[in-house]
């Protein structure tokens, strides 16, 4: 249904596209590509609040959904929200820069979803992309599988410290000692 939604959108059949994309999302509620495409269709239909919500959902279910950042950032610039637009387009540019490593990590995570080194690596990529909350999730998943990994624990503590969670950071640093 996702692909049919994309095709219908390209043909200008926006309502038909949304029907297919809705079906795709009922089948897989975490399909970032379907949310991204639906967001673009909704923006094209000038249903801005719904389009923005769909693109934000795409970024929430997949913090690495490049196209969602690009489309929402571009929309914000057109709407005069320069700061928000530039912020999202900066993330898009950084995602593009690391896309090869990112793609490789994502493919390996499909095969080995709980591999601690892959989760820690994804956490580092997310941290570099300015997504500290998502990085924390990945670092914690890595540490759940490998609690003795001092590098990952240090990375987790550094993110916590940058977020002003000093006591939580100290707790993590103490576990390294």
The pLDDT tens digits of the residues spanning 8-32 come to 999 999 999 999 999 999 999 999 9
Measured CA to CA, the distance from residue 121 to residue 57 in angstroms comes to 24
Band (128; pLDDT cuts 50, 70, 90): confident
What is the mean predicted confidence (pLDDT) over 42-66?
Answer: 94
Measured CA to CA, the distance from residue 44 to residue 4 in angstroms comes to 18
Which pLDDT does position 64 carry in this prediction? 83
Phi and psi for 132 in degrees, rounded to 5?
-65, -35
Of 157 and 64, the structure prediction assigns the larger pLDDT to 157
Closest CA to 138 of 120, 160, 112, 157: 120
Residue 130 has pLDDT above 90, yes or no: no
Band (168; pLDDT cuts 50, 70, 90): very high
Which pLDDT does position 157 carry in this prediction? 97
Count CB-CB contacts under 10 A for residue 29: 11
User: C-alpha dihedral over 30, 104, 98, 168, to 10 degrees?
Assistant: 70
Residue 160 has pLDDT above 90, yes or no: yes
Write the CB contacts of 161 (distance below 8 Å, at least 6 apart in sequence): 169
Sign of the CA dihedral with 168 first, then 169, 174, and 177 last: positive
Closest CA to 142 of 109, 94, 99: 109
Which pLDDT does position 131 carry in this prediction? 84
Band (95; pLDDT cuts 50, 70, 90): confident
Band (79; pLDDT cuts 50, 70, 90): very high
* Token reading at 112: 């080995």
Tell me which DSSP letter residue 30 carries: T
């Amino acid at each position: 249904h996702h692909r049919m939604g994309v095709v219908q959108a390209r043909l200008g059949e926006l309502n038909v596209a949304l029907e297919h994309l809705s079906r795709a999302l009922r089948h897989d509620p975490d399909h970032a590509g379907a949310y991204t495409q639906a967001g673009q269709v909704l923006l094209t239909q000038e249903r801005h609040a719904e389009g923005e919500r769909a693109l934000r959902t795409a970024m929430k279910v997949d913090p690495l959904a490049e196209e969602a950042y690009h489309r929402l950032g571009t929309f914000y610039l057109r709407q005069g929200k320069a700061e928000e637009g530039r912020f999202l387009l900066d993330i898009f540019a950084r995602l593009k820069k690391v896309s090869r490593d990112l793609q490789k990590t994502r493919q390996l995570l499909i095969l080995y979803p709980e591999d601690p080194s892959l989760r820690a690596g994804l956490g580092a990529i997310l941290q570099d992309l300015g997504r500290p909350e998502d990085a924390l999730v990945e670092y914690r998943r890595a540490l759940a599988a490998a609690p003795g990994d001092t590098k990952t624990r240090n990375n987790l503590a550094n993110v916590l410290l940058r977020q002003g969670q000093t006591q939580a950071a100290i707790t993590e640093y103490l576990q390294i000692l």
